[in-house]
Amino acid sequence: MSDDSRIHVKGWLRIKHLALLVTLDDSRNLHATARHMNMSQPAASKMLKDIETFFGMTLFYRQPRTMEITDAGRLLVRYARSILNDTDRLIDDLVSLREGGYGKLVIGSVPGAAPLLLPKAINTIKSRRPQLAVTLFENSSDRLLAELEYKRLDVMIGRVTEHAQHHLFDFLPLQAEPVSIVVRAGHPLCERPPSLGEVVRWPWVLHPMSSPMRGLFEVALAEAGVSTPRNVVETTSTQTTLQLVSASDAIALLPTSILKTAVSAGQFTALPLVIGEPLGYYGVLTRKGEEISDVVAEFIDTLLMRDAL
């Protein structure tokens, strides 16, 4: 694309065009999109046609009851979401500045980092910036990466799940993440060391198949010639997992770091079974090629400092 073409796109494309594409991708219905955007359906249809004409590509195929997105549409919607989320953050930051606020930091983290590493780093940065608004979301790496890409997070503690993601994110390693097989205190499996073949016959609480931790588990089972548990509840919530395990005979696979306080309180026990290697280093992820704010830079420095202690 020539420099003139880039200038032409920047001069023509509007926020309302991006909002229409994202809303249409969510609803896959032009009538619902028009209603959501407080405009008539003919006006929404014309706007979509104008966008497609401008780019010279079909973005959505019109079906009798739905709209099917094309590869070009998917690419454009991906960038539209990022720009709209960035715009929302700009508005929030301007409002905060006007009202005398002190900024906002939105962090995403895998469960293994949350119990030990993050509280220390958050306490440190809050001691330096007492009125900084800090929001923390805990989830698996695959889900957090999507949030980071679309600019719903400022920084993420986790790991890349596909090699191609190295082109999207910068990664600073922090520490490895061993995992443990966890049961409630007094579980029947605590009476003697069980085999892997025994534990898969019990109910399990596991991350979804797309998560690195679940992948580690499935590889270990396959290498041992043991079938996958059939009685499974899937969740990425650490709190829900611990509640389910504490109230039943269910078994869970969790980062070992989560258990350090819980095990000391006598609520849970790690079974003497090794599931594969540690998940590998998790670290700090930020969007590649994007200048990070002073707050994010200070937070990362705090994490690296704590990791070195």
Strand 204-206 with 133-138, pairing: unpaired
Range 102-176+281-308 has CATH code 3.40.190.10: yes
**What integer pLDDT is reported at residue 12 of this predicted model?**
87
Cβ atoms 156, 109 nearer than 8 A: yes
- Backbone phi and psi for residue 252, each to the nearest 5 degrees, phi listed first: -135, 155
What tens digit of pLDDT does each residue of 217-226 get?
888 889 889 9
Spell out the domain ranges in the chain.
3-75, 102-176+281-308, 179-270
What was the pLDDT predicted at 1?
A: 47
> How far apart, in whole angstroms, are the C-alpha atoms of residue 165 and residue 161?
7
In this prediction, residue 308 carries a pLDDT of: 40
CA distance to 165, 167, 210, 253, 305, per residue, from 162 (Å): 6, 10, 11, 22, 28
Query: Tens digit of pLDDT for each residue in 207-265?
Result: 998 887 888 888 888 988 999 999 999 998 888 999 999 999 999 998 887 777 655 56
Q: Which fold has domain 3-75?
A: Arc Repressor Mutant, subunit A (1.10.10)
Are the folds of 102-176+281-308 and 179-270 the same? yes
Q: Give CA–CA dist 50/36, Å, rounded.
A: 19
How far apart (Å, rounded) are the C-alpha atoms in residues 137 and 66?
Answer: 33
Q: Which CATH class is domain 179-270?
A: alpha beta
CA 151 to CA 76: how far, in whole Å? Answer: 16
pLDDT score, position 262? 57
Positions of the chain with pLDDT lower than 50, given as ranges: 1, 307-309
pLDDT for res 72: 94
Specify whether the CB–CB gap between 81 and 21 falls below 8 A.
no
**Share of residues in the chain with pLDDT > 90 (%):** 46
